Amino acid sequence: MTTLDDVRSDSLRYGPLAYLATVTPAGEPHVAPTAVAWHGDEILTFVRTDSRKVANIRTNPRIAVHFSVGPTTNWDSCIVRGDVVIEDTNAGRTNLWDKMGYDLAPFEPGGPTADTHVFLRIIPTTALILRNYGIAGRETWSRS
């Protein structure tokens, strides 16, 4: 049985970059690369407040995170789906400011109290790990 710890461990093999998939208010898919980091049982990302991702999430707070395939992972991939909470308060940004694993100041010189960036807290609900594009097997996880 695959656990969320298994999903987290597997996703770390792909590095800190992933693709986030959201849906526009018109129902169109939107996919964008971003840096992500696990914080406990959640995935974090730090994005501009005025980004398409944030606008989409304000309408539909569901997301998919795709840790992509490549030769260094034997063509494995991991997809995590979940609900999103936008941390756009000073307290929320300050609490998460040092959790991404790199210095955020070059991206937001105003620090955690600047309102030009927010954190997205992704709460996983399901996950799929595909081994060699699924040819060598697939593992699933679901929050019960």
How many structural domains compose the chain? 1
Mean pLDDT of 45-51: 97
Residue 48 has which token pair? 């501009």
Sign of CA dihedral 63, 86, 83, 138: positive
Q: The domain spanning residue 105 has which CATH number?
A: 2.30.110.10
pLDDT tens for each residue of 104-120: 999 999 999 999 999 99
pLDDT at position 68 is 82
Task: Report pTM.
Answer: 0.95
Count Cα neighbours of 88 within 13 Å in the Cβ-side half-sphere.
13
Q: What's the angle, vertex CA 17, arms to CA 55 and CA 74, rounded to 5? A: 135
Bridge partners (DSSP) listed for residue 125: none
Range of the domain at 27: 4-142
